[in-house]
Structure 1
Amino acid sequence: MEVNEALLTRLTQANGIAGNEKAIREIFKDETKDVAEEFVIDGLGSIYGKHTGNPDGPRVLMAGHMDEVGFMVSQITDKGFIKFVPIGGWWTQVVLAQQVTITTSEGKTFHGVTGSKPPHVLNAEARKKPVEMDDIFIDLGAASKDEVLSWGIKPGDMITPYIETRRLNDSPFLLGKAWDNRIGVAVAIELLKNAAESGHETVLYSGATVQEEVGLRGAKTSAHLIKPDLAIALDTGIPGDTPGMTAKESDNALGKGPQIMIFDRSMISHKGLREFVIEVAESENIPHQFAFTPGGGTDAGSFHQALDGIPSLAITIPVRYLHTHTSIIHEDDFINTVKLVTAILKRLNHESLQTILANN
């Protein structure tokens, strides 16, 4: 499989925080319009391409999430600076001195940079402490509040990190914003194409949810709408291959394959589904890793609690520097994740579903 870098660039450079995922939804539709039988969209905006291999087969939901972490305009000061609220989880140390994009409700974009009071004027004790989010602002180069308002910027407008997606020094490592979770959306796109090409024994809904970063919200509405027999969240996870990380925190690494999530803050993975996925990975010789993330969660956390309880699991791609402007993936992990979910789909049928359910 060749990596479609144009698709990954298109997805990561699109701007879309929770509640503002339209641009990514349109990319998904454009990329899959030739293979999806229809698009199923819930009331919040989560989207799925449906493909039927066997109309009497199990209903299978596989989904990334479209939203990225970002900010929202909350106030414009008299001197034209922007105050904001975080949308999704941010660590203040990675917010300072970064470039951002503000997108108005009309779709106009404005470039800015985050700033704060300089350390030169702080006392020694204050310099030891992280800057509070409330003390960070955005500088657009505006002279006044009236000037900012004349541009059409107002409270509620979306703010996203700004960075150009690129391959790092001719390596297999890809740098960009929003790998969490546009890489999961890319997996869902490739899965739908593979399903149409090679066939399967399910009714597949492959797509992406909204508002994962603010409480797994789109997963709730999607599960209610689709009513799948099983669900797999396609998301991102924590590697432990950078300086200072310990094996206890994570023994995973970029380039070593997709992570099969065993346990996280939002769920314990369904045992029968987990064993099924592991068996598929082993029999197909697909590199894979096991992940435990007590400090994070995925849409599977909402999928598994929906309706009468949906057997669910998260398959994640390790990403360095999650929830920052500058995250990194390894292209082999993307390739092997697509291989894994495609192999899983090929083996799913009524018989394998019953085995999964019986082994919980």
Structure 2
Amino acid sequence: MGKIDDTLKMFKELTDAKGIPGNEKEPRNVMKKYITPYADEVVYDNLGSLIAKKTGMHGPKIMVAGHLDEIGFMVTKIDENGFIYFQTTGGWWSQVMLAQRVTIMGSKGDVTGVIGSKPPHILSPEARKKPVQIKDMFIDIGASSKEEAKSFGVKPGDSVVPYFEFTPLKNEKMLLAKAWDNRIGCAIAIEVLKQLQDSEHPNIVYGVGTVQEEVGLRGAKTAAHTIKPDIGFAVDVGIAGDTPGISEHEADSKIGKGPQIVLYDASMVSHKGLRDLVVKTAEENEIPFQYATMAGGGTDSGSIHLTANGVPSLSITIATRYIHTHAGILHRDDFDNAVKLIVETIKKLDQDTVDSIKFD
């Protein structure tokens, strides 16, 4: 890897950090390191979501949330021969899992493993045509027995994380890493507070790293109850439709063409008044953007908007190739433009504006 600037260094530390739902300590510590210099205070909810507060004027409370957790696995049992069985944490497609390297976060340190299954050479011709089911997979850590696996420090309940190192591609704006879903959202929350450091803003901004998004938008619920925001932004990854085989009807977003403004997903219909304000802000500032919808899946906005008596909320996402695999690709420009769009919108969100958009 060539010269690495401060932002790329932050990306690397965030994405290389290991944190499945329920064990987000490593990415939380990285986010804390990077966001603390721009926050008046950093606190936590009781599930472990990080909440960094920055006060401009004492106006509306604005929540900008990325989630700390990544999809992974949890050890459920060790068989007599030392092979590891597991539960998925978050959504996995079985075809992207086999022969992939993983790291088990054991009590004596990290343990390397690979996901295995019965070899195709001994399967019937019919069985070979079918994808291997996740229930028939296991993790091989090179142990010869249950006792040896335990001696490595592996036990049920341990986190298992995909192994991949952050790597800029030859086109240096194209960035390859695990866990873009959703360390890019955490990076956006950090950078928003950084860019507001020397700016006047008529509100209180909360940069949040939520926990357990991949298993049901859980940390966003507890963090939003802690903050009681007036406006909520979830920042996450979205579907890129610019690879072979995808029609524009299925997904038309392209990486590098601006952040996605999510109109609808399975967790929320986006708030029309807030959405219109964000679109107007993008057009005024000549910030590129794309519209997106997702019939399946959701983001932290799904929990935030249902807090207390309701929170006008919007999801702003970064088109990312190969999400929910070991390796995703996104574009640096989309990060920069998402930050700019959120910062410019926050500068407009005084109490009168918040009140005026509620019922638009």
The verdict on a shared fold, with TM-score over 0.5 as the criterion, is yes
1:9 to 2, 12, 36: 12
Letter in 1 for 2:24: E
**Does the CA contact (< 8 Å) of 1:65 and 1:209 recur in 2?**
yes
SS of structure 2 residue aligned to 1:33: helix
User: Identity over aligned residues, as a percent?
Assistant: 53
Q: Which residue of 2 aligns with 1:243?
A: 244
Which piece of structure 1 moves more, 34-43 or 5-14? 34-43
* Distance (Å, rounded) in 1 between the aligned partners of 2:276 and 2:107: 46
> Would you say 1:20 and 2:15 are equivalent positions?
no
- 1:94-120 deviations in Å (ceiling 9; x for gaps): 0101000000246x1011111110111
Match of 1:312 in 2: 313
TM-score scaled to structure 1, two decimals?
Answer: 0.97
Q: Which residue does 2:50 correspond to in 1?
A: 47
Cα distance, 1:171 vs. partner?
Answer: 3.4
Does residue 59 of structure 1 match 2:61?
yes
Residue identity opposite 1:24 in structure 2: P
Correspondence 1:127 to 2:128: yes
> What is the deviation of 1:152?
1.4
- Rounded to whole Å, the distance in 1 between the matches of 2:285 and 2:115 is 47
Partner residue in 2 for 1:322:
323
In the alignment, the residues of structure 2 paired with residue 285 and residue 87 of structure 1 have an alpha-carbon distance, to the nearest angstrom, of: 39
Q: Deviations over 1:303-354 (max 9, x none)?
A: 1111101101100001100000011101111111111111111111112112
What residue identity is the alignment partner of 2:271?
Answer: H
Deviation at residue 40 of structure 1 after TM alignment:
2.4
Give the Cα–Cα distance (whole angstroms) in 2 for the partners of residues 208 and 199 of structure 1: 23
- Report how far residue 273 of structure 1 moved: 0.4
Counterpart pick for 2:105 among 103, 106, 110: 103
Distance in 2, matches of 1:327 and 1:63, equals 20
Where 2:355 maps in the other structure, the secondary structure is: helix
1:35 corresponds to which residue? 38
Report what 2:178 is aligned to.
177
Q: By how many angstroms is 1:3 displaced?
A: 6.7
Question: Within 2, Cα distance between the matches of 1:284 and 1:175?
Answer: 29
Letter in 2 for 1:27: V
The aligned counterpart of 2:344 is 343
Worse-superposed segment, 163-172 or 144-153? 163-172
Once the two structures are superposed, residues 48-97 of structure 1 have per-residue CA deviations (whole angstroms, 9 ceiling, x without a partner) of: 11000002x00111100000000000111111111101000000000101
Cα 1:314–1:49 change in 2 (3 A) is same
What SS does the corresponding residue of 2:310 show, helix, strand or coil? coil
Letter matched to residue 276 of structure 1: L
- SS in structure 1 of the partner of residue 196 of structure 2: helix
Distance in 1 of aligned mates of 2:325 and 2:359: 41
How many Å apart are 1:181 and its aligned residue?
A: 0.1
- Alignment partner, residue 302 of structure 1: 303
Q: Which amino acid aligns with 1:333?
A: D
Give, in angstroms, the shift of residue 35 of structure 1.
1.7
Residue 70 of structure 2 corresponds to: 68
8 A Cα contact 1:173 1:328, kept in partner: yes
TM-score scaled by length of structure 2: 0.97
Q: Please tell me the residue identity of whatever aligns with 1:11.
A: L
Corresponding residue for 1:85?
87
Alpha-carbon contact 1:71-1:86 (below 8 Å) kept: yes
Q: 1:217 matched to which residue of 2? A: 218
* 1:12 Cα deviation after fit: 0.2
Structure 1 match to 2:354: 353
Q: How far apart are the structure 1 equivalents of 2:255 and 2:164?
A: 21
The CA distance in 2 between the partners of 1:3 and 1:196, in whole Å, is 17
Question: Which residue identity is paired with 2:87?
Answer: V
Deviates more, 1:94-103 or 1:344-353: 344-353
Structure 2 matches for 1:196-235, cutoff 5 A? 196-235=197-236
Give unmatched runs, 5+ long, in structure 2: none
Three-state SS of the structure 1 residue aligned to 2:37 is coil
Distance in 1 separating the partners of 2:324 and 2:73: 12
In 2: Cα distance, 1:235 partner to 1:32 partner: 18
Two-structure CA RMSD over aligned residues (Å): 1.1
Q: Is the 8 A contact 1:3 1:331 kept in 2?
A: no
| Contact kept? 1:3, 1:335, Cα under 8 Å | no
How many residues end up aligned between the 2 structures?
356
Rate the CA distance shift 1:277–1:3 in 2: closer, same or farther, 3 A.
Answer: farther
Per the TM alignment, residue 199 of structure 1 is displaced from its structure 2 partner at its CA by 2.6
Secondary structure, counterpart of 1:237 in structure 2 = strand
Q: Which runs of 4+ in 1 moved over 2 A?
A: none
**What secondary structure is seen at the aligned counterpart in 1 of 2:38?**
coil
Find the aligned partners of 1:266 and 1:9 in 2 and give their Cα distance. Answer: 30
Would the aligned equivalents of 1:231 and 1:311 in 2 still touch at CA under 8 Å?
A: yes
Counterpart-to-counterpart distance in 2, 1:131 and 1:90: 13
Q: Secondary structure at the match of 2:198?
A: helix
Matched residue, 2:141: 140
What is the distance in 2 between the residues matched to 1:87 and 1:323? 11
Cα distance per residue 1:249-284 (max 9 Å; x no partner): 111000001000000011100000000110111101
